[in-house]
């Protein structure tokens, strides 16, 4: 026996790898999960690989980043511009995290579409839901560590939401902020959550998740008509795995490895090309121009909140997310038997299509946020020359009132300006002078979207403004007539 083998045997006699890890790596899996259908099974391991990248880049960043409110911003700039490859570590940490989020969503969608969560893998799904929450939690707390205005105001919004919890709201706010104001205590606790608490929970849950995958085996590729029946499933699965099964360390592992390597290459390339995200500016809450946006996994909720009526807001903030998680947790208990193939589960397929569409539309809405006023439009977006070219002096004066009174922050002309209110390019053909005076003076009835300008403009300004608004019509179109109603 040669000496390298002797050394290996010495270690194995103590570590017992050959009788513990090796059987795990080579445990038999259904043949179908290793064949062409095995390409559906690659998202879980890709998520895990990106998690490893996150751990490594996270440790690298922690070597330089200072989690103190007065130094964090400076240390981020140092990472971006001074520390060799600091910019790359920050970029990779962000894009690998985003990639992990995407992989987790894909993994979950695949497991849902293939009915893999059904008997006997209900607990694997439940743990998976908590792993999703951990990943989202990492995203949210990570954004806070970017200690810029987005981070600061993101915490402010989170604090205001927490403040709506009935009765104990103020105490919850204190716990979220770690003190009376957003500052050093706040950053320290989000750092603790991001670096110790959530990763600890995530890794613990992940080991249970993997344990379950090993103990209950990976599901075979679904076949239409092959129904799950808890009474007979175990026996049939054992038979399938032990008769026709193949070791995991084979085709299936190579597919996993290929996908993992591919996603790593993709996030590295994106990180190298796009570079680090932020910090967008110093975390000084007295600087104006803050326009906080949540990170992309939360944009849909931001959109949903903004598009819903105020009466539903508190419910959507505090109860709806809990309900959503509750529904996810109940999935394997509501349907834990029967068909697994998506071709026999139209409701499952339809749910995925509807939810994915909702997610995409709300994310788009959240990203563009047409409900937010454009705070600089009144001074930054001049009235298009086309509109004032042949204006009378009074109309010209009205256009000045229109700019000065910040109307442009919410109302666009020729598509330029805020989009919170309607574009007023052709308002003169829709409302007559009386209706315009009423609208401007009183705003939206009941304090809706438009404030009442009655006390904010003088009679002269009103006359000029209305003259200007009435002139805003497509060429050759007459002004709006008077309503037939009394």
Partner 1 sequence: MATGESEVSEPTTTPPPGEPIARRTLFQRLFLGATVLIGLAAATVLIIPFVLYLAGPMRKRNAPWISLGPLNKFPKGETRLATFDNPLGTPWDGMTANTGVYVRNVGKDEKGNENFLVFSINCAHLGCPVSWFPQSGLFMCPCHGGVYYENGERASGPPPRGLYHCEWQVNGGNLEVQAPHYPTLQNTLRG
Binding site for partner 1 (CB under 8 A): 68-71, 73, 152-153, 156-157, 159-164, 169-171, 173-175, 177-185, 187, 282-286, 288-292, 306, 310, 313, 371-373, 375, 378, 404-406, 409-410, 420, 443-444, 447-453, 455-456
Closest CB 188 distance from partner 1, rounded Å: 9
**Measured between alpha carbons, how far is 153 from 174 in angstroms, rounded to an integer?**
16
Dihedral pair phi/psi, residue 247, rounded to 5°: -65, 145
Closest distance to partner 1 from the beta carbon of 125 (Å): 32
Please give the backbone phi and psi of residue 293, each rounded to the nearest 5 degrees, phi first. Answer: -130, 140
Looking at the Cβ atoms of 35 and 281, the one nearer to partner 1 is 281
Closest separation in Å from C-beta 403 to partner 1: 9
**Nearer residue to partner 1 within complex by CB, 160 or 357:** 160
* Distance of closest approach, residue 235 Cβ to partner 1, in angstroms: 38
In the complex with partner 1, which residue's Cβ is closer, 349 or 375?
375
Residue 185 structure tokens: 């205590």
**In the numeric block, which tokens belong to residue 250?**
């084979």
Q: Is the Cβ of residue 240 or residue 423 nearer to partner 1 in the bound state? A: 423
| Terminal alpha carbon distance of the chain | 107
Closer Cβ to partner 1, 20 or 286, answer by number: 286
User: How far apart are CB 292 and partner 1 at their closest, in Å?
Assistant: 6
Going 23 to 27 to 28 to 34, the CA torsion angle's sign is negative
Cis check: omega of the bond before 131, within 30 degrees of 0: no
Q: Which is nearer to partner 1, 133 or 176 (CB)?
A: 176
Shortest distance (Å) from residue 304 CB to partner 1: 12
Please state, as a whole number, how many other Cβ atoms lie within 10 Å of the Cβ of residue 225: 10
CB 446 to partner 1: min, Å:
9
* DSSP letters spanning 58-89: HHHHHTT---STTTHHHHHHHHHHTSTTHHHH
The per-residue b/e assignment along 111-144, b for 16 or more CB within 10 angstroms, e otherwise, is bbbbbbbbbbbbebbbbbbbbbbbbbbbbbbbbb
For partner 1, the closer CB: 275 or 443: 443
| Crossing angle for the helix pair 169-177 and 149-162, to the nearest 10 degrees | 160
Instruction: Tell me which DSSP letter residue 454 carries.
Output: T
Residue whose CB is less far from partner 1, 182 or 264? 182
Cβ contact 155:177 at 8 Å: yes
Least Å from the CB of residue 421 to partner 1:
9
CA dist., res. 69 & res. 294, Å (int): 20
Whose Cβ is closer to partner 1: residue 351's or residue 441's? 441
Of all helices (H) and strands (E), which one includes residue 247? strand 246-247
Closest CB 76 distance from partner 1, rounded Å: 13
């Amino acid at each position: 026996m040669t000496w390298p083998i002797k050394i290996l045997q010495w270690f194995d006699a103590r570590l017992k790898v050959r009788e513990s890890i090796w059987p795990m790596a080579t445990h038999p899996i259904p043949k179908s999960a290793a064949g062409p259908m095995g390409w559906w099974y690659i998202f879980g391991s890709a998520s895990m690989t990106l998690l490893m990248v996150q751990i490594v880049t996270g440790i690298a960043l922690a070597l330089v980043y200072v989690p103190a409110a007065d130094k964090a911003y400076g240390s981020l700039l140092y990472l971006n511009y001074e520390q060799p490859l600091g910019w790359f570590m920050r970029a990779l940490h962000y894009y690998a995290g985003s990639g992990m989020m995407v992989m987790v969503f894909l993994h979950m969608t695949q497991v849902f579409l293939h009915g893999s969560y059904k008997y006997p893998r209900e607990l694997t799904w439940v743990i998976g839901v908590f792993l999703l929450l951990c990943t989202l939690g990492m995203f949210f707390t990570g954004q806070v560590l970017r200690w810029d205005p987005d981070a600061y105001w993101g915490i402010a919004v989170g604090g205001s939401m927490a403040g709506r919890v009935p009765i104990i709201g103020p105490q919850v706010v204190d716990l979220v902020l770690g003190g009376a104001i957003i500052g050093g205590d706040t950053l320290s606790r989000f750092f603790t959550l991001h670096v110790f608490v959530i990763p600890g929970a995530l890794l613990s849950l992940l080991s249970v998740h993997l344990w379950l995958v090993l103990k209950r085996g990976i599901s075979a590729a679904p076949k239409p008509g092959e129904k799950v029946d808890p009474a007979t499933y175990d026996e049939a699965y054992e038979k399938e795995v032990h008769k026709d099964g193949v070791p995991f360390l084979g085709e299936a592992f190579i597919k996993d490895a290929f996908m993992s390597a591919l996603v790593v290459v993709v996030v590295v390339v994106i990180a190298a090309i796009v570079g680090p995200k932020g910090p967008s500016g110093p975390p000084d809450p007295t600087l104006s121009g803050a326009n906080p946006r949540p990170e992309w996994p939360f944009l849909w909720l931001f959109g949903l909140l903004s598009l819903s009526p105020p009466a539903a807001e508190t419910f959507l903030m505090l109860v709806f997310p809990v309900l959503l998680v509750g529904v996810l947790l109940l999935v394997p208990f509501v349907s834990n038997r029967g068909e697994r193939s998506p071709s026999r589960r139209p409701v499952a397929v339809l749910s995925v299509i509807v939810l994915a569409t909702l997610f995409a539309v709300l994310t788009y809405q959240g990203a563009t946020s047409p409900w937010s006023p454009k705070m600089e439009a009144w001074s930054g977006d001049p009235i298009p020359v086309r509109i004032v070219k042949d204006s009378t002096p009074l109309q010209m004066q009205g256009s000045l009132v229109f700019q000065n009174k910040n109307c442009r922050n919410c109302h666009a002309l020729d598509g330029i300006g805020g989009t919170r209110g309607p574009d007023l390019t052709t308002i003169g053909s829709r409302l007559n002078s009386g209706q315009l005076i009423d609208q401007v003076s009183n705003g939206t009835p009941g304090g809706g979207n438009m404030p009442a300008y009655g006390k904010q403009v003088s009679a002269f300004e009103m006359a000029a403004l209305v003259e200007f608004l009435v002139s805003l019509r497509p060429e050759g179109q007459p002004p709006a007539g008077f309503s037939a109603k009394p």
